[in-house]
Amino acid sequence: MMVDFVKTQYFAKFKDHTPEQFEVDFNAYLNIPHFKANENIHEVLSANDKEEKYCRRDIENEFIDEDNNIKPEVHWIMRSATQYYLMKAFNAMKIDLTDPNVDINALGKGTPGRIAKMWCGNDPDDTTELGSGRWNKEPVLSIFPNDGQQGIICKEVDLISCCSHHFLPFSTLDRGRAIIAYKPGTHLIGISKLQRFVNWAAKRFWLQEDLTNYLGKTIKRISGTEDVFIKIENAVHGCEHYRGANSKDGSLTTEYRSGIFNDSNVTF
């Protein structure tokens, strides 16, 4: 049973917790709303404050702590439940789960546990795993009042994300780049924070076109300008590169243009 497996994982991780605490945390996990593969739970809950689309605030408080983070215990239960069902999928594929290369051990070890960690993140603060951006809070971006900057600001960053069709990575690391350019409106964005923001946004399951649009609309919101240009250039997709077409040279470039960038041939 899934609950028995999750309970074992829970007490291996949180040795000082009581059975009553497990029941509370497990019920809190059950009350997390389903949300899209490319969404972030905190953005969804913020929207709920206005729309009440998924759940009431009193239910939300069961899985959100005093710092407005997903509770580590609840995240661990979600990750452990994911591992359990991945074990079932491996069994359906007739994979020997006693094979030492995939063997199941405590605290998420073994291949199903490693995949669960990759798709769910290590914990609510993790920023490195492919699906971690669904669970952690948006990083604080340093912004400064615009005291007269009129020129275009352009920043090149790296991007690693995951395809929502196959849950395989795509990135600009091989021969691509991601570009953020904007003409400042009310605020300037600290350039050192843009890479951190892109990391957070990308660590979900996206179509590249949707990720490009999301970055553009978010930069517009943060900087208070309509003049934004986003380009994800020559991103290599694992679903095309390592399977399917097995394309050695295939890559994808997408752009977002708004404001002055709609009315010009400006490119970077």
Q: pLDDT digit string (tens) for 58-104? A: 555 688 887 788 999 999 999 999 999 999 999 999 999 999 889 97
Query: To the nearest whole percent, how much of the chain has pLDDT over 70?
Result: 93
User: DSSP assignment, residue 24?
Assistant: H
Chosen domain end from 134, 160, 194:
134
Q: With cut-offs at 50, 70 and 90, classify the pLDDT of residue 46.
A: confident
pLDDT reported for residue 60: 57
Of the pLDDT bands very low, low, confident and very high (cuts 50, 70, 90), residue 200 is: very high
Residue 14, both tokens: 């949180």
- Do 185 and 79 reside in the same domain of the chain? no
Task: Quick: pLDDT tens for 99-130.
Answer: 988 997 766 679 999 999 999 999 999 999 99
Q: How many residues does this entry show for the chain?
A: 268
Residues 106, 39, single domain; the answer is yes
Q: Among 114, 189, 204, which Cα is nearest to 159's?
A: 204
Give pLDDT tens digits for 223-248. 899 999 999 999 999 999 889 888 88
Domain match, 160 and 77 both: no
Q: Can you give the pTM of this predicted structure? A: 0.90
Does 126 fall in a domain? yes
Beta-strand pair 205-206/160-163:
parallel
pLDDT at residue 162 is higher than 60: yes
Report if residue 216 sits inside a domain.
yes
Is 268 inside a domain boundary? no
Same-domain check for residues 72 and 128: yes
In 93-188, which residue ranges form alpha helices assigned H by DSSP?
Answer: 111-120
* 80 phi/psi in degrees, rounded to 5: -70, -40
Query: Is 177 found in the same domain as 119?
Result: no
Question: Mean pLDDT across the chain, nearest whole number?
Answer: 90
SS3 228: strand
Which residue matches tokens 């350019």? 181
pLDDT score for 49: 55
**Which of 134, 156, 183 is the last residue before a domain boundary?**
134
Q: Does residue 172 share a domain with residue 258?
A: yes
Copy the structure tokens of residue 181.
């350019």
Residue 137, burial from CB neighbour count under 10 angstroms (0-12, 13-18, 19+): middle
Q: Are residues 112 and 213 in the same domain?
A: no
pLDDT bracket for residue 143 (50, 70, 90): confident
What are the angstrom distances between the C-alpha of 133 and each of 39, 69, 118, 139? Answer: 8, 13, 11, 10
151, 28: one domain: no
- Assign residue 221 the CATH number of its domain: 3.30.1130.10
Would you state the pLDDT for residue 55? 47
Residue 251 lies in a domain: yes
Say whether both 9 and 123 belong to one domain: yes
Q: Domain range holding 259?
A: 143-263
Phi, psi of 132 (to 5 degrees): -65, -25
210 and 193 share one domain: yes
How many domains does the chain fold into?
2
**Exposed (0-12), middle (13-18) or buried (19+): which is 113, by Cβ within 10 Å?**
buried
The answer, yes or no, to whether residue 12 has pLDDT greater than 80, is yes
